[in-house]
Amino acid sequence: SSGDRATRRDATTAQRLTFLAMAPVFALSFQLSIFASTDGARVDRRARRSPGFEWGKFMTRSVANARFKLAPGSGTLAREKRRTVWLCNHRAWSDFFLDIYLTEGRAFTMSRMLVAYAFPLFMVPAMVCGVVFGFKRDAGDKEKLNAALDAHFDAFGGEFAGMVCYPEGTRNVRENSMPLKRGMLRYAHSRKMAVQCVCTARKERVFSSHLTCAERGLALPVYFAEVIHAEDYPDFEDFYNEIRSRWDNAWSAANGVSAAEAESLPDYTPREHVVRCTPRHDAVIVSSALLTVLGVALTWRACSKLL
């Protein structure tokens, strides 16, 4: 509800301090999630938890201590044996790890390459593992982007069942949804993919650069809409209108739950997603150790200048 929404003006001192504490952890989160994992003890390399699942779980559960709560009328995550687009609402930096965990590491997420310049220690291993698909906004040729997405799916041998994208096209913490961009929806329609709208409330309170605040222990209402199959809608406009209708329902259902009401809703815990361990994963583990040392060194240098 609108009364639960955080703004930069009303962020408390505690929320600002929590943000400052979480920011360096987020910057090194992919490396830290590998070191925090107990999955290395598994001898069977054919069934390791996916890097995306490990990272999302580490940030959501260990760092943010956030809990998902099923909003009234919600379904559950689509786990179809076909490529799926999960349409999520974009609220803050926390979206990246919350939505990857919410989709059980089955999806990669799209992110502007600009983020790689802001968080190279996180983005480089995430992109090597395929968890993040980097793209340039206004790159021009949409067919070239679509072909790159196809290649990304193929390159990882079925490790990803789908992708997370943010159809509003920008961060939105307002009370109402913005119009949905058509680009990725046209891609999903042309590839006959499944589409599921997944809206989660109060993600901006978990970790937000825009609001300069973070908060641990929050209950986050989430609503999974019914899956839409592109082949059932030969006309794109019918496909788009159906998505828009289910998106609006999901948005209202998730954001209509107050903080007090959320605590009484049933918990939703994502299932563990396992994949075959690949040389890419091994390379990331080794490089993560080196990047962590570099990150610690840079942090030490920066702090030394401040003292």
Q: Name residue, tokens 């989660």.
A: 200
Indicate the SS3 state at residue 27. Answer: helix
User: Phi/psi class of residue 72: alpha, beta or left (left: φ > 0; alpha: ψ in -120 to 50)?
Assistant: beta
Predicted confidence at residue 46, as pLDDT, reads 60
Predicted confidence at residue 280, as pLDDT, reads 66
Give the mean pLDDT of 111-130.
78
| Statement: residue 21 has pLDDT above 50 | yes
Give dist(CA 285, CA 18) in Å, integer. Answer: 28
Give the pLDDT band of residue 42 (cuts 50, 70, 90).
very low
Nearest to 105 by CA among 124, 126, 76, 134: 126
Q: What is the separation, in whole angstroms, between the first and last Cα of the chain? A: 43
- Residues pairing with 107 in the sheet: 162
How much of the chain exceeds pLDDT 70, in percent? Answer: 85
Q: Are residues 163 and 183 in contact, defined by beta-carbon separation less than 8 angstroms?
A: no
Residue type, 162: G
Predicted confidence at residue 41, as pLDDT, reads 47
Prediction pTM value: 0.85
Q: Give the pLDDT confidence of 206-248 residue by residue, as tens digits.
A: 999 888 999 999 999 999 999 999 999 999 999 999 999 999 9
Helices (H), strands (E): how many in the chain?
A: 11, 13
Q: Are residues 162 and 83 in contact, defined by beta-carbon separation less than 8 angstroms?
A: yes
Residue type, 272: E
Distance set, CA 147 to CA 2, 141, 153, 161, 185 (Å): 40, 10, 10, 17, 15
Q: Determine the distance from the C-alpha atom of residue 224 to the mean position of all C-alpha atoms in its chain, rounded to a whole number.
A: 15
Nearest to 88 by CA among 97, 79, 80: 97
Alpha helices in 85-141 (DSSP H): 95-102, 114-118, 120-128
What is the average pLDDT score of the chain?
Answer: 85
Give the mean pLDDT of 84-103.
94
